[in-house]
Amino acid sequence: MRLILLGCPGAGKGTQAKLITAHYHIPAISTGDIFRAAIQQESALGKQVKRLVEQGQLVPDDLVIRLVAERIQQNDCRQGFLLDGFPRTVVQAEALQKLSPIDYVIDIDVPEEEIVRRLSGRRIHSPSGRTYHVIYQPPLRAEQDDVTGEPLIQRPDDNETTIRKRLAVYYEQTRPLQYFYEKMQQEFNTPRYLKIDGTGSVESITQAILSQLH
């Protein structure tokens, strides 16, 4: 089972990736994980990535594609994989088609206002990484960590203005992928493009996804 998971920030991709890959016993592969591994290994590609990241620059398509190509050729990907955060652009999608066939593209669809509500309500205990939500998962005491009682913070990029900017970038860069994969399905019947309603419970969304994968 070779899968791509699409969805804007806050759509719940990370949660669904864990549940889907556990079900199929395949690795979840994110570009962030690939970058960190390459940097730790201090490979030639890793050193290039480290330099770009430290300078605050985006990693260019050709470098991302080479890193993904190396990763999906590893032994744990023989039975399949799930790509989370790749491809981000049509250029990357076209390159991926040459690297490996893809069975399904799963697009988790959540309205913008719901995304803003989810992300702007997130609170974090910085030392531990524990996360809360003022509506969906509030701490026992407002703005305090349940374990230590220390104050919670809101990440700078979790304010409404920044969230809407992030979403605008996502729509501009990644929405063309929807049309790319819809066209591929129409012309070649592969990969199958699945649009999944991402506003229900975690369990119902997982079930909706698994029920359409064969």
Domains in the chain (CATH in brackets) are: 2-29+81-206 (3.40.50.300)
In order of 63, 87, 92, 171, 179, the CA distances from 176 in angstroms are 21, 11, 12, 8, 5
Check 18, 50, 66, 88 and give the catalytic one: 88
pLDDT tops 80 at residue 56: no
Angle, vertex CA 167, rays to CA 71 and CA 36, nearest 5:
25
88 is catalytic: yes
155 is catalytic: yes
Check 155, 175, 183, 195 and give the catalytic one: 155
DSSP 8-state symbol, 58 = P
Check 2, 118, 122, 123 and give the catalytic one: 122
Q: pLDDT tens, 13-31?
A: 988 999 999 999 999 998 8
Q: Which residues make Cβ contacts (< 8 Å) with residue 147, sequence separation at least 6?
A: 125, 128, 130
Q: pLDDT tens, 26-51?
A: 999 988 888 888 888 888 888 998 88
Check 13, 71, 117, 118 and give the catalytic one: 13
2 is catalytic: no
Contact 95, 65 (CB under 8 A): yes
